[in-house]
Structure 1
Amino acid sequence: MDLDFYKKQALQKQKEHKKFLDGLKKKPPKNLDYQVLETHEETFEEIDCLSCANCCKTTGPLYIEKDIERISKHLRMRQADFEAKFLRVDEDNDKVLQDLPCFFLNDDNTCSIYDVRPKACREYPHTDRKKIYQINNLTIKNTLICPATYVFVEKLRKALEK
């Protein structure tokens, strides 16, 4: 996967993408949620996250208490030990990874805690959510990190222009 190519494309089209997504917010099409889900599914038939894993290498998810509970139990660790070993509190007072790439990312881009991964990881890149226009800024930001998000926005634009 050519991450530089996708990032350059996303940077070049940021203003266009923002205008498109803002337009969805102003006047959402009636079938938007359906179209978003269909476009999400099409995109991920085309793009394999395991060929990239850029999100796991460059951005850390937010860890909520339920995540910490579930993962530390899975790893047979005390929650306090898990937090001390892997997490830190950021400037927004959120619990995030101490270091990147993610400690749980394997050499083949699989996740060693996939079945119990954080909610933020399960939902990323958020291209299958209802009322997608509520996260326009996040979607634009994600186009720079995740090639699938860039492809998703491009496909959604084409689908809605028909």
Structure 2
Amino acid sequence: MQSLITDLTIIQQLSQEREAENDAFRSFLKNQKSESVDELVHAINNEITPKIDCTTCGNCCKSLMININTQEAEALAAHLSTTVEDLKEKYIEESLQGRMIMNTIPCHFLSGTKCSVYEYRFEGCRDFPHLHQNNFSGRLFGILMHYAMCPIIFNVVEELKIQVGFRNNNEIFV
């Protein structure tokens, strides 16, 4: 496994430099067996994620729109000693699809780089960057939208490039 890059400035710079490479990688993965890619991604993710402390970054809280379900809204309202109606009035709006979402970006509950309601954060927040889910290849376009802002995504994708034979150090094999 290559050494991890967690400096957001470097990640953003490399992301710009590798935009065409990542497009080629998406095409490359389409020719790979989806289940095999998922197994690799899950293994890489399980190795990388514990080594990166998300609470020192918080970039996802600065850029993501998170869906909220009724149970999550109720739990957070109870934690904040308020009503769901007050919570909706202050923090939540309805999306065009009729879902509840936070009404501002960055998230109201982001304090520095940490979530001020961490124990009550929404499922979409807890599960981000969703690399434990299946169909990585089919979701890669969306995943790459966060490649420049999430050290976990960046490092998992870069390690995956090596493990599937797309890249060896800085040489691309396509």
Q: Do they fold alike, i.e. is TM over 0.5?
A: yes
Task: Say whether 1:62 aligns with 2:62.
Answer: no
SS in 2 for 1:143: coil
Q: Of the candidates 77, 92, 110, which is equivalent to residue 114 of structure 2?
A: 110
| Alpha-carbon distance in structure 1 between the residues aligned to 2:67 and 2:34 | 32
1:13-162 equivalent positions in 2, closer than 5 A: 13-28=18-33, 31-107=36-112, 109-161=113-165
Gaps of 5+ in 1: none
- Residue identity matched to 2:107: C
Question: Any conservation in 1 of the 2:67–2:99 contact (CA below 8 Å)?
Answer: yes
| Alpha-carbon distance in structure 2 between the residues aligned to 1:127 and 1:116 | 21
Question: Any conservation in 1 of the 2:30–2:137 contact (CA below 8 Å)?
Answer: yes
Aligned to 2:7: 2
SS in 2 for 1:88: strand
| Counterparts in 2 of 1:96 and 1:48: CA distance versus 1, 3 Å | same
| Alpha-carbon distance in structure 2 between the residues aligned to 1:8 and 1:66 | 40
Per the normalisation by structure 1, the TM-score is 0.84
Gaps of 5+ in 2: 1-5, 169-174
| Alpha-carbon distance in structure 2 between the residues aligned to 1:31 and 1:67 | 34
- Residue identity matched to 1:88: E
- Choose 1 or 2 for highest CA Rg: 2
| Alpha-carbon distance in structure 2 between the residues aligned to 1:122 and 1:56 | 11
| Alpha-carbon distance in structure 2 between the residues aligned to 1:91 and 1:11 | 31
Cα distance, 1:29 vs structure 2: 5.7
Question: Any conservation in 2 of the 1:22–1:133 contact (CA below 8 Å)?
Answer: no
Cα distance, 1:70 vs structure 2: 2.5
Question: Any conservation in 1 of the 2:62–2:107 contact (CA below 8 Å)?
Answer: yes
Question: Any conservation in 2 of the 1:22–1:136 contact (CA below 8 Å)?
Answer: no
More helix by share: 1
More strand by share: 2
| Alpha-carbon distance in structure 2 between the residues aligned to 1:135 and 1:126 | 10
Count of aligned pairs: 161
| Alpha-carbon distance in structure 2 between the residues aligned to 1:36 and 1:135 | 12
